[in-house]
Amino acid sequence: MSIQKRRGYRHEKALEARLGLWRVGTLGREDLHDTNHTAAVRLSVEAKSRESYPIWWRDAHRQAWNNAPPGTVPLVVWHLTSQKHDEDRVDLRLADFEAILDYIHRLERGGPDGERPAA
């Protein structure tokens, strides 16, 4: 197995553990699949691992993080000129994404605290 394939495998396994997904990368489909069929948000993940990010990508993220007020989730929205905005891409930190997913799952269980309200 090549170095790149081993690095990709380790990345997929780490995401599988962190996000509670099923790794299916060897089956020719998405790398990770959400098996929670009751969730309001189900994920299909294509995992990529690089040794470094391009400078322009790092600069955009640094700007988002530096400008974000406390208590907000910094993200970068990528837009290609002459393309519809529906096709824009959103980047955010994995830890912030996990917090958003956790909040959604708590709402599914009945409220922001994860407990069903009393009847």
What's the pTM? 0.76
Q: Would you give the distance in Å from CA 56 to the centre of its chain?
A: 20
Tell me the pLDDT of the chain (119 aa) as tens digits: 788 888 888 998 899 888 888 888 665 667 777 776 566 777 888 888 888 999 999 999 999 999 999 999 999 999 999 999 999 999 999 999 989 888 888 888 776 665 555 54
Terminal CA-CA length for the chain = 57
The DSSP result for 49-101, as a single string, is --S---HHHHHHHHHHHHHPPTTS---EEE--TTS-GGG-EEE--HHHHHHHH
CA distances from 77 to 34, 36, 88 (A): 24, 27, 7
